[in-house]
Amino acid sequence: MSHKDISIKSKLDSIEERLRGQGDQHLDFLAHKEQITRILELVERKNVLVLGHNYMAPLVYSISGEKERGDSLALSRRAAETRKPIILFDGVRFMAETAKILSPEKKVLIADVEAGCSLADPFTADDIRAYRARYPGSPVVTYINSYADVKAESDYCCTSANAIAVVKHAARESGARRVIFFPDSLMARNIQNELRRDGYDLEVVYPGRDDDLFGRCEVHEKFTAEHIRDIRRQFDMPKGASNAAVLVHWECPPEVVAEADYCGSTSDMARYITRRPGLVRVYLATECEMAANLASEFPQVEFVRTCGFFCQHMRRITLDKILRSLEDEVHEVDVPEAIRVKARRAIDRMLGVD
Ligand code: 13P
Ligand code: SF4
């Protein structure tokens, strides 16, 4: 066997190991083993970095190595540091675009260019310019769930893993008492609440606060406080329990965040579980594939799976489409250079904060 064959075999074995004991996921692996082998061969032959967001379906997720899976922040960092000539981004388009902004000399592929995001899709650079005109002197912090032209008009980018730190930093650097946060209206309200709790006299303005714009994640907006309380009652998960936890994403409504044991980015949730070995039951108020993926990593934890909240955009990324994209090197993501340079500045400023 050649060196490459050994490497593919060992990757296949480790995927199978990861999915063994996960019932349907293991069966799914066996049914798709040939296709996955073909994908791994192409990844090896073409020297591709395959980044996988935490919301990918388990089989797609398992194609990425341990250090190539994660939240938006972790994957941006990986994209920025890779020496591989091709990046395949298993996630939505704004994520692949961010990889291109950070690694312009690389070929960045996405399996389906239609993989959008309800937060990113409605907003343009004009919205940011209008807010700047309305609130002169206020720095603009833009959530990574946005396209390059919007990032290019912003002072800072941020992700759910560092949004509060970046907003505080932007206010400190500019000396302003007000920060414009785009485009997630619910996350902005959560940030405003956290700042108040921390004693910060800082105003956050965002779409929907003083106008009829509204930026929302179509998945996370569906969670309600009543739903969380039901889960706690039905599954015996009282707030503050040492053996159970409800973990909530910052994109959820503030009433849902108020019901959480912990709030964070998708990878923050995984780290929270790692830090608490006494946990035996966890509910994740986020996209449902995340629980399926974490179940492989934390076999000792029961993930309450009453969830029916899937992201239609993330689900566009399938093995079939990945194979085609790798075979023909199609669905390349590109960003005009003038926009890329400006967007990069906002991302670099974020990466400089933490
Ligand atoms: P994370 O950066 O926390 O993974 O979130 C990305 C996202 O799209 C959440 O809906
Ligand atoms: Fe966008 Fe929500 Fe899907 Fe994340 S889960 S990609 S925020 S629509």
What structural domains does the chain harbor?
A: 3-116+314-328 (3.40.50.10800), 125-215 (3.40.50.10800), 220-303 (3.40.50.10800)
Going from the C-alpha of 68 to that of each of 21, 75, 286, 343, the distances in angstroms are 23, 7, 20, 23
Q: For residue 345, how many other CB atoms are within 10 A of its CB?
A: 17
Residue-level pLDDT at 354: 65
With a 6 Å cutoff on the Cβ, whether 145 touches ligand 1 is yes
Instruction: Provide the CB-side half-sphere exposure for 59 (13 A, CA).
Output: 24
To test the pocket of ligand 1, the residue of 216, 251, 290 to mutate (highest count of ligand atoms within 8 Å of its CB) is: 251
pLDDT tens, per residue, the chain with 354 residues: 788 888 899 999 999 999 998 889 999 999 999 999 999 999 999 999 999 999 999 999 999 999 999 999 899 999 999 999 999 999 999 999 999 999 999 999 999 999 999 999 999 999 999 999 999 999 999 999 999 999 999 999 999 999 999 999 999 999 999 999 999 999 999 999 999 999 999 999 999 999 999 999 999 999 999 999 999 999 999 999 999 999 999 999 999 999 999 999 999 999 999 999 999 999 999 999 999 999 999 999 999 987 689 999 999 999 999 999 999 999 999 999 999 999 999 999 999 996
Ligand 1 within 6 A of CB of 265: yes
Task: Give the pLDDT confidence score for residue 332 in this predicted structure.
Answer: 98
List CB contacts of 191: < 8 A, sequence separation 6 or more. 163, 164, 167, 181, 204, 250
- C-alpha 189/C-alpha 9 separation (Å) is 48
Q: Which residue, by CA, sits nearest to atom 2 of ligand 1? A: 72
Whole-angstrom CA distances from 311 to 118, 126, 222, 348 are 10, 27, 11, 28
According to the model, what pLDDT value does residue 81 have?
A: 95
Give 49: exposed, middle or buried? Use CB within 10 Å, 0-12, 13-18, 19+: buried
